[in-house]
């Protein structure tokens, strides 16, 4: 297995133990750059689609989280607040007030920087201190940290009482020790971001993530020594889009995703099917999200369309599923329900969480 590529960390000559001035991947892409605005340091992080976000350090106060760093867009919009971190010597995992407001890949980029800084500082294992432990946060932490106990047991402890913590704004530390195990992102081609750690763990094509999970529709699969990014429904491969050698170099340019059949675009799923999907999604959701999910589902339509590599996206009040998937859908009703649930669950939950966040902000105004 090839070793992960090495990053180049560039420090100020007078402060070699401080925060890096820049971090470069082996292809010369800037993963991080540091600057200052007014009294605040900013850490600019590159996302898989080449967009940037900034961490403005020690920037604001939050009613629940206390002193915070701000996650800011290039235009200066504050996207979220995160409990402040000592980035020279991290001691805890920060809580984020609005994770759903971040662009794709931003949360993972922040946590990976945290893991790198903790590793270089020789910090003890980090623990999460905050009111919002979630399955999504756990998944993001797994990309840059490891636990030294059975994963299922650690995850159960991490998520125990999550809803009560959120309602109460509990800032106690959760006793699950996360050991830094950061990954490396690099861009061998402008459209392709490869995430290395124990081999190639994830790739992004045009900002869309492909991973090895057997339920993922954007999936990484092994073919001999190569890694293949493909679109899949269950065991059925719909299209192979990209092939990488073991070091992460593309064998060729990416192939396009087959278009949706034009006659299918705009065709809605039957109302009865959408109702069943909604019931399944609500049954599996955290209790706090159920009212928001019910509101979203009351006005949402689910239609076939051509959302590109997103595969599933919102367009107005319609949730579009890619029509190219239809030919690979299972005929067994139970299996079909499972596939459709996996496809719509994430977008529905994010829409419900956004509604809840807006309602909470309005109540605090």
Q: What is the DSSP letter of 84?
A: -
CA pair distance 43, 55, nearest whole angstrom = 5
Cα 332 to Cα 18, 64, 279, 297, 329: the distances in Å are: 58, 48, 19, 25, 9
User: Which pLDDT belongs to residue 334?
Assistant: 92
C-alpha–C-alpha distance, residues 43 and 12, integer Å = 14
Is the entire prediction scored with pTM above 0.85?
Answer: yes
Q: Note the pLDDT of residue 37.
A: 83
Cα Rg of the chain (Å, integer): 21
Report residue 156 as tokens.
């159960």
Q: What's residue 161's pLDDT?
A: 87
Task: Show the DSSP H helices in 222-270 as ranges.
Answer: none
pLDDT at residue 167 tops 90: no
Contact 129, 173 (CB under 8 A): yes
The total number of residues written for the chain in this structure: 365
Q: What is the pLDDT of residues 259-290, one digit of tens each?
A: 999 999 999 999 999 999 999 999 998 888 89
* Euclidean distance between CA atoms 48 and 112, whole angstroms: 13
Instruction: Report the pLDDT value the prediction gives residue 364, as an integer from 0 to 100.
Output: 58
Calpha distance 13→273 (Å, rounded): 63
pLDDT over 90 at 1, yes or no: no
Check pLDDT > 60 for residue 31. Answer: yes
Task: Give the contacts of 213 (CB within 8 A, at least 6 positions apart).
Answer: 219
Summarize pLDDT for 141-162 with one digit per residue, the tens: 999 999 999 999 999 999 998 8
Nearest alpha carbon to residue 138 among 113, 157, 117, 161: 157
Handedness of CA 186, 96, 166, 129 (dihedral sign): positive
Residues 6 or more apart in contact with residue 70 via CB below 8 angstroms: 55, 56, 59, 60, 78, 80, 81, 82
DSSP string, 137-197: HHHHHHTTEE-SS-HHHHHHHHHTTHHHHHHHT--PBP---BEE---EEEEEETTEEEEEE
């Amino acid at each position: 297995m090839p070793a992960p590529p090495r990053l180049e960390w560039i420090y100020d000559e007078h402060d070699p133990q401080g925060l890096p001035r820049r971090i470069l991947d082996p292809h010369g892409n800037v993963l991080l750059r540091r600057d200052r605005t007014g009294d605040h340091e900013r850490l600019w992080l590159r996302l898989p689609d080449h967009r940037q976000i900034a961490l403005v350090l020690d920037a604001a106060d939050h009613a629940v989280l206390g002193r915070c760093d701000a996650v800011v867009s290039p235009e200066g919009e504050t996207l979220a607040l995160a409990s402040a971190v000592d980035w020279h010597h991290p001691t805890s995992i920060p809580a984020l007030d609005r994770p759903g407001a971040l662009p794709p890949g931003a949360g993972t980029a922040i946590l990976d920087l945290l893991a790198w800084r903790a590793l270089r500082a020789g910090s003890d294992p980090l623990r999460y201190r905050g009111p919002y432990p979630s399955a999504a946060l756990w998944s993001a932490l797994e990309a840059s940290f490891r636990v030294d106990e059975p994963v299922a047991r650690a995850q159960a402890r991490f998520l125990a009482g999550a809803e009560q913590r959120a309602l109460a704004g509990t800032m106690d530390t959760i006793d699950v020790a996360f050991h830094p195990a950061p990954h490396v992102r690099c861009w061998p081609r402008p459209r392709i971001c490869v995430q290395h750690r124990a081999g190639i763990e994830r790739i992004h094509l045009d900002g869309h993530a492909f991973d090895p999970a057997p339920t993922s529709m954007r999936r990484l699969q092994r073919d001999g020594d190569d890694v293949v990014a493909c679109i899949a429904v269950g065991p059925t491969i719909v299209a192979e889009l990209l092939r990488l050698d073991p070091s992460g170099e593309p064998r060729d340019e990416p192939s396009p995703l087959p278009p949706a059949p034009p006659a299918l675009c705009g065709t809605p799923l039957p109302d009865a099917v959408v109702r069943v999907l909604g019931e399944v999604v609500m049954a599996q959701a955290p209790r706090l999200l159920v009212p928001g999910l019910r509101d979203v589902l009351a006005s949402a339509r689910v239609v076939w369309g051509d959302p590109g590599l997103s595969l599933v996206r919102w367009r107005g009040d319609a949730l579009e599923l890619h029509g190219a998937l239809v030919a690979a859908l299972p005929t067994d009703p139970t299996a079909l329900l499972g596939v459709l649930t996996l496809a719509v669950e994430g977008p529905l939950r994010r829409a419900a969480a956004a509604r809840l966040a807006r309602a909470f902000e309005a109540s605090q105004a």
